[in-house]
Structure formats: structure tokens, C-alpha cells
Amino acid sequence: MSGILDSIIINAGAEYTALDFFTHPSNVQGIPISKFSAPGSGADTSVVSRGSTTTRAFYSIGSVPSRIPGTRDIKGFFSFLSGLAWSFNLTSPRTYRGNLINYPDDGRRYLAFDDYVSNQLFPLPPQLGRNMEYTYEDYQMYFTLYLGYYEGKNVNFGVGPIYGLAVYRMDIIEREHRVSSVKNQLQELKGLRLLLEYNIGQYFPETILYNAYLFLEITSFGDLDGKGLNIKNQVTTANGLPAPSLYMNMTTYRMGVRKEIQLSKVPHKKEEGPAYPPLQNLPSAGLPPKEDTKSDSENPG
């Protein structure tokens, strides 16, 4: 397969994305507080989002997975390098909408320390607590380093980490008032990708789809270190204090067709055999062509 300077890839398909926002538990003198009545609570995180899945068409531009130069035929101790590959992707902007439940608190004011602890341990149920709507939009630019990449005749398979950047904006609306709006924020992307491709172009060798692949791709951002992707916001608690950090996990399932577009001129293959077809009736050793000899014998003198 060609590298990024030789070709680009156009992907067309459908995606299903699960987008979850959560917070780390509050601390009182360094001791995490676990919420007993909030769904999704745990020792590490508390999920505060709802209705954050979406399915839509998408477009992206990138490169085909390519071997690291000079590693394909390595033998011996460093032979594991022959299984490495990389690719680049740039996605189109996508918008996600959903609700934040009881973030950063359930809306009850507290005047004393014991009220604060009680509200954290026993928040109001989502039906009675705080409910805010959010709109999240981003586009992503990232590299994938496939630590294991198999390139067969008609099947390709790869898995490896992702690293890149995302530019995002997020609006949070509570009771028809925008309480937070951040724009053009940069976010470091870390994640993991699983890729499976099947060559459907083998069934259309004489068409423009001769090198088209059907692909299945699973991409997860924010799961490598368990901390999620930090998202800036301007929401305050019911008492007007700064809200705890909001984090995000995004898992995307994509299925579609990718088509390689060649950017550089493909060198012509050298044909076997002579450069020119043999000439007919070529005189040799001064002898006339056969048809001339035959005509002369039929008409002597």
C-alpha cells in the first residue's frame, strides 16, 4: 500500500458513537465520597450524562495503514518491527446532544459542612434533581500506530494506540439559559483502535472500485489511563462555587467502504517480451520475401 505522500483515503459509511461524560468523586480532606443513591456511581467515576448516543453518516480523509519504512523485511531480533504500521486521519465535524444529570450537584444549596457531605452522599434522584442539556461538537486529527498489523491478500487487520488533537466546543443550557459556552478548545486525544478490512475490489477488477475495501473500525478515546478526556466548562455549583472537572469517554463503531485515491503517478509495469512486435516479411541475408520469390517462379523471364 502507498504512503501518505502517494495517496489519500476517502471513507464513506455509518457510525455509532457512545459519548459519556463523568466526574471523579468529590474529596473531603483527601477521602473520596461515593454517592449511594446516584446511578452509575463508583469508586473511580460518576457518570453524569444521558442520551448521548447517535448514529449518522460521516466523512474522513486519511492515509492507508503503511509499514514503517525499512522494517518490512527485517530479520532476527528486530523482526517484530515488521509488524508495525501507521496511518493518519482527519474527520469532519460532528455534533452530539444529550443531558447532564445532577452535575455538578443536584441543585440544593448547603450552608454547613454536614449539609454538603449529606448532599454528596444522598443526591436527589434524576427526576427531581438538576437537569441540563449539552451540545458537544468537535473535529479530530490523529495518528494511529498499529503495534500489530497483518496485511494479507484480501484481509487486513490492525490494533494499536491513537494520539492526536481535537478542536471542540461545548454549550450547556439550564432552564433555557446558557450557563456555559466554550469554543475552539484544544483537546489531546489518546485512545485505542481496532481495524478489520476486506478487499471487495477483487470482485470489480475492471472498475474504479478495484482497490476498495469494506472496513469495520472500533475507536475508543479516553480509556488508556482511565481518567478520560478533560473538558473545560463554566458551570458552577448551587452555591456558586467552581464545578468539578468534567471528563469524556468516546467510543465509535464505524462500518463502510474506503477507497484509495492515488496522488502520485503510478509507474508503468515493464512488459515481458520484445519492446516491439516482430516485423513481417523482413528480408534476411539478402533473400527476397517468400511471396516475391513465389511470384517470380510463376512468371519466369
In a domain, 62, yes or no: yes
pLDDT for residue 38 = 57
Query: Could you tell me the three cell numbers for 194?
Result: 481496532
- What is the average pLDDT value for the chain, to the nearest integer? 79
pLDDT surpassing 90 at residue 173: yes
State how many domains the chain has. Answer: 1
In a domain, 290, yes or no: no
In a domain, 277, yes or no: no
Dump pLDDT digits (tens) for 114-140.
888 888 778 888 788 889 999 999 999
Q: How many residues does the chain have?
A: 301
Dump pLDDT digits (tens) for 36-62.
655 554 556 778 887 666 666 667 777
- Helix-strand-coil percent breakdown of the chain, rounded to 5? 10, 50, 40
Residue-range definition of the domain harbouring residue 232 = 7-270
pTM, rounded to two decimals: 0.74
In a domain, 43, yes or no: yes
CATH at residue 176 = 2.40.160.20
pLDDT for residue 275 = 46
More reliable by pLDDT, 286 or 259: 259
In a domain, 58, yes or no: yes
In a domain, 296, yes or no: no
Range list of β-strands (E), 177-267: 177-199, 212-221, 229-231, 246-262
Report in angstroms the alpha-carbon separations of 73 from 78, 82, 158, 221, 301. 10, 7, 18, 32, 74
In a domain, 66, yes or no: yes
In a domain, 12, yes or no: yes
